Chains A and B, each alone.
Chain A
């Protein structure tokens, strides 16, 4: 997919709304549409909206095989993560105050954990292995008597690597600890079966799966029951877990997007796997390229590559007609390189040199071919500009150089 001749390869950041989803959403906005408040019990406007919300809820539940009553609407995965982590920790604080998470979680998990530390909770941040995977054993050995919650992501947003949440869930269930999973990157990419997997809470986002921004959901298990303290009060919607008038059109959009994801997952996967393979084959022809993450244990829609001796932001600028993202410090406000790549033990310079390509439903042959044509050329030209490449060609080991750092 491309607009104004810019190729979009940043689907892990967000996806466009599927036109079928957008047209469905339009039915719930205008005077001619079903604009009612789903909480209005006294007239058909309310009933119709409520019907649509419940239908959407069942589409979401159907994709991950759970009971629709276990789905709580939120404003997105960030809110779902906050609600799960802060909600459970605060509700069960008399039982214990220790939480286990990992160093490669999304900020929507790490920041609520930091907040809980300020409130007196203790948090263990697990290291991933060098491929970016959190092992069930690492979780097991971090458990203490006062552990109440484990929060580990399903698919890492930078690397695409998969954690074995079913195995981790066995560990947490055995130890009677709640297990939250951030699955923002998972829906429509891999199968999730919450009936078979003992996950207690799971966060979802609509806009990573061709739905609209501004809506997400939290799965909250009923058996065994998980309770949580609400973050937002006022009206008691969503069984008191998340008050606020439901955004019918957003929710309908998420429902439709997840319905399509269920229907088209195999097809999407097949197409994207083909692009992944092609991309990988071609990129490997470039010297000194490192794939970050685990090629044998990842989703094909995300490909994170470090081009040694080239800085990531300059590469993005060189690829000016291609939308991708980078682990380079220079593209972030903090000036720190990707904490995820650093947690893998990658050298900082490789973190600075990384680019994340992510493919999606609307990626086509032309997008992939054009990108591959440009990529090798830009990497080559930036290396011609790079003193590090020159030193490398001269046979200098960059690790032995005494740098005049700033």
Chain B
């Protein structure tokens, strides 16, 4: 499978510099933290996404993000790409993110579109978790 240079670069940068690329975790019990985890080991990918938010006006803003991903190179690149899109966004803006934005940004091949869907689902779940705590 030939990946775009963007996938390869994103994957390698994330692997070589995990902290800068927001690899890690927040305490899931923290009231400011929302956690989403999608996928299954048997399917070959699991994405865990955590958002740390702050109230702003009548909404909440994503101040920081952490993630961990088990999966193929494009699953890791897709999570990393999503994470970059999230910081500074309001929850409404984050909910509006569509998987095609990740597909376009990374030039994912058709067989890997699944990875971007997983990323989209992880942010939805993380927001749901956060909102349930408020």
CA distance A349 to B42 in the complex (A): 5
Q: Which residues of A contact B38 (CB under 8 A)?
A: 404, 406
Q: Which residues of A contact B43 (CB under 8 A)?
A: 348, 405-406
User: Residues of A with Cβ closer than 8 Å to B?
Assistant: 309-311, 313-314, 317-318, 320, 328-331, 333, 335, 337, 347-349, 352, 378, 381-382, 384-390, 398, 403-406
* Interchain CB contact under 8 A, A314 and B76: yes
Q: Which residues of A contact B114 (CB under 8 A)?
A: 406
Q: Judge whether B18 is part of the interface by a CB distance below 8 angstroms.
A: yes
Q: Judge whether B12 is part of the interface by a CB distance below 8 angstroms.
A: yes
Which of the candidate stretches B52-60, B63-71, B84-92, B99-107 sits at the interface with the other chain?
Answer: B63-71
Q: Which residue of A lies closest to B38 (CB)?
A: A404
Looking at the complex, which one of A311, A382, A398, A406 makes contact with B117 (CB distance below 8 Å)? A406
* Interchain CB contact under 8 A, B72 and A311: yes
Q: Which residue of B lies closest to A383 (CB)?
A: B70
**Besides A314-B73, A317-B8, A404-B38, 16 other A-B contacts (C-beta < 8 A):** A311-B44, A314-B11, A330-B74, A335-B111, A348-B41, A348-B44, A382-B15, A385-B18, A385-B68, A386-B70, A387-B47, A387-B48, A387-B69, A389-B70, A403-B41, A405-B42
- In the complex, 26 of the A-B residue pairs with CB atoms within 8 angstroms, ordered by the A residue number, are A311-B45, A314-B72, A314-B73, A317-B8, A317-B12, A317-B73, A328-B72, A331-B1, A333-B111, A352-B41, A352-B42, A381-B16, A381-B18, A385-B15, A385-B68, A387-B48, A388-B46, A390-B25, A390-B68, A403-B39, A403-B42, A404-B121, A404-B125, A405-B42, A405-B43, A406-B117
Q: Judge whether B118 is part of the interface by a CB distance below 8 angstroms.
A: yes
Q: Judge whether B32 is part of the interface by a CB distance below 8 angstroms.
A: no
Looking at the complex, which one of B15, B44, B48, B68 makes contact with A318 (CB distance below 8 Å)? B15
CA distance A320 to B73 in the complex (A): 11
Looking at the complex, which one of A311, A335, A384 makes contact with B71 (CB distance below 8 Å)? A311
Q: Judge whether B23 is part of the interface by a CB distance below 8 angstroms.
A: yes
CA distance A384 to B111 in the complex (A): 26
* Interchain CB contact under 8 A, B72 and A313: yes
Q: Which residues of A contact B1 (CB under 8 A)?
A: 330-331
Q: Judge whether B62 is part of the interface by a CB distance below 8 angstroms.
A: no
**Residue of B46, B69, B117 with highest tally of chain A CB at under 10 A:** B46
9 smallest A-B Cβ distances: which pairs? A403-B40, A330-B72, A349-B41, A405-B40, A348-B42, A387-B48, A313-B72, A317-B73, A387-B68
Q: Which residues of B contact A382 (CB under 8 A)?
A: 15
CA distance A84 to B114 in the complex (A): 40
Q: Which residues of A contact B73 (CB under 8 A)?
A: 313-314, 317, 330
Shortest distance from the beta carbon of A377 to any chain B beta carbon, whole Å: 10
Q: Which residue of B lies closest to A381 (CB)?
A: B15
CA distance A309 to B41 in the complex (A): 8
Q: Which residue of B lies closest to A320 (CB)?
A: B12
Interface 0/1 of B15-45, CB less than 8 Å to A: 1101000010100000000000111111111
